[in-house]
């Protein structure tokens, strides 16, 4: 009788387990929608650039170093520098050759992606902006001899993928030649 009761109990347990087989079994497959905060792709939107700054005046230029290997001189126009709500630092840069020729561009550096873009350049008549030369954001090149965007990004404009501060703070650092590396303790 005990043996019969044991067989009935085993059959009942087997039937109970068979009825539970429709319940999903745990797996190692990650089927959740969890994403780490830093891995999320934000819906970034660039601020509109409807108006361009005034052309730079010599008295508003702040020089900065790029490389000891270049004869070119670089300066940012203090009146044009701004930090947008989109995390883009916008500025006018003046590049001067040893013969005195100037390239003048209005550009932006996007801190979160290590990219830059050109909004406009000095026109052929040297009396206004030419916005037909505008580009999309592209990766900043570190290896170029005259890679001033990399110098601005790394030394003055950005840290930890965000602007180093408001425009006034960035301009103060440029004026005092306080680079990011010189501020490490």
pLDDT tens column, 19-44: 555 555 555 555 556 666 666 666 88
Q: String of b and e for 105-133 (b: at least 16 CB within 10 Å)?
A: bbbbbbbeebbbbbbbbbeeeeeebeeee
Mean pLDDT for the chain overall: 85
Global pTM reads 0.75
Question: Rounded distance, CA 142 to CA 114, Å?
Answer: 10
CA max distance for the chain: 111
Give residue limits of the domains in the chain.
58-183
Q: What are the C-alpha distances in Å from 69 to residues 62, 106, 179?
A: 20, 24, 19
**Residue pLDDT, tens place only, 128-140:** 999 999 999 999 9
Banded pLDDT at 142 (limits 50, 70, 90): confident
Task: Say yes or no to pLDDT of 4 above 80.
Answer: no
Planar angle of CA 173, 179, 183, nearest 5 degrees: 95
């Amino acid at each position: 009788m005990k043996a019969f009761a044991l067989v009935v109990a085993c059959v009942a347990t087997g039937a109970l387990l068979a009825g539970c087989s429709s319940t999903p079994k745990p797996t190692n497959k990650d089927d959740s929608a969890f994403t780490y905060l830093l891995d999320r792709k934000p819906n970034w939107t660039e601020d509109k650039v409807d108006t361009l700054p005034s052309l730079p005046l010599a008295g508003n230029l702040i020089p900065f170093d790029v490389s000891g290997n270049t004869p070119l001189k670089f300066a940012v126009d203090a009146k044009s520098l701004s930090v947008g709500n989109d995390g883009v630092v916008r500025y006018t840069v003046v590049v001067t050759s040893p013969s005195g020729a100037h390239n003048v561009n209005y550009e932006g550096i996007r801190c979160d992606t290590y990219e830059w873009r050109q909004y406009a350049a000095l026109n052929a008549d040297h009396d206004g902006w030419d916005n037909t030369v505008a580009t999309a954001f592209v990766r900043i090149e570190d290896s170029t001899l005259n890679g001033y965007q990399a110098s601005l990004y790394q030394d003055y404009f950005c840290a930890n993928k965000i602007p180093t501060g408001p425009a006034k703070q960035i301009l103060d650092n440029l004026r005092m030649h306080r680079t990011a590396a010189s501020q490490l303790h």
